Amino acid sequence: MKKSPETKRSLIRFVTWILSITAVMYVSSVPAQQINPLESDPRAARAGGVLFRSQCATCHGGDAKGITGIEAPDLTLIWAAVGTTDERVFQTIRNGVPGSIMPAHGFTDPETWMLVSYLRSVAATGATEFSGDAVRGSGLFLSNCARCHRVRGEGGSLGPDLSQITSRRSAAALVNSVREPSATIARRYHSVSLVFEGLSAGASGSRQRIQGTLKSEDAFSIQMMDTNQQLRAFMKADLLEFVRESDSLMPAFSRTDLSSAELEDILTFLQSQL
């Protein structure tokens, strides 16, 4: 029997339907995809970038490095954290972060994977493998750095924790931050100098000068850490002097202070602690 065009169309519809149902069943039987299906497609990161700039940049910044004053993280650093996977980033974009200002998003799966590809493409690249002497570096770190910097819970708090730093900064950036620490100063580590009237017994009226890092301020007060690593707060009206220093509290280490080989040792030690 010759099939009429009508019957043919119905048959095609039926087969298409069966196929799509099968596809849906197959997809729904697989748990959330764990591998970025667009990983090898170079267009994905580019398309993700367009999407990112229109949908995410308001909080995370056009370069994904976050915006001062908005508590949205620098997304170029997320890959350095232990446990960050493509799938986890996918889920964070999709579901948001409960209890934070990061909302859930209604992007399609391919769009979400494009965003993951884009974030991979802008990930801060960690340093290459250092080849110094980690043991010697450990000693050098203790004598030169540990008063202010911590590694794995050991050391001071005046400067940033360096436990993850070798996976977050390039070798050049790391060297530069030791040789020229004032070139770029991280948020909450800007240096301030204060002068105020001391209140020590019998010595009222004695002026005190302290230095530290500015943690926070409003129109009337400042919150800082002094060089003794004490958290202190002052009313601006009580300060005789309040100077925002352009230089970091961290001394610049020249090649005579710390040779290139010694610096390599320290960085090797830091890398060994990851």
Binding site for other proteins (CB under 8 A): 50, 53-55, 57-59, 61-63, 67-70, 101, 103, 106, 217-220
User: Minimum distance between the CB of residue 243 and other proteins, rounded to whole angstroms?
Assistant: 15
> In the chain, count of helices (H) and strands (E)?
9, 7
Query: Residue 158 and residue 229: Cα distance in Å, rounded?
Result: 6
**3-class secondary structure per residue, 9-26:** HHHHHHHHHHHHHHHHHH
Cβ neighbors of 230 (< 8 A, separation 6 or more) are none
Q: Which is nearer to other proteins, 9 or 188 (CB)?
A: 188
**3-class secondary structure per residue, 189-257:** CCEEEEEEECCCCCCCCCEEEEEEEEEEECCCEEEEEECCCCEEEEEHHHEEEEEECCCCCCCCCCCCC
Q: Which is nearer to other proteins, 39 or 71 (CB)?
A: 71
User: Minimum distance between the CB of residue 103 and other proteins, rounded to whole angstroms?
Assistant: 6
User: Minimum distance between the CB of residue 247 and other proteins, rounded to whole angstroms?
Assistant: 15
- How far apart, in Å, are the Cα atoms of 273 and each of 37, 124, 191? 33, 19, 28
Query: Residue 186 and residue 65: Cα distance in Å, rounded?
Result: 13
Q: Which is nearer to other proteins, 53 or 150 (CB)?
A: 53
User: Minimum distance between the CB of residue 109 and other proteins, rounded to whole angstroms?
Assistant: 16
Q: Which is nearer to other proteins, 62 or 198 (CB)?
A: 62
Instruction: Compute the residue count for the chain.
Output: 274
User: Minimum distance between the CB of residue 14 and other proteins, rounded to whole angstroms?
Assistant: 32
User: Minimum distance between the CB of residue 137 and other proteins, rounded to whole angstroms?
Assistant: 33
Q: Which is nearer to other proteins, 24 or 70 (CB)?
A: 70
Token pair 């794995």 is at which residue?
Answer: 152
Q: Which is nearer to other proteins, 67 or 134 (CB)?
A: 67
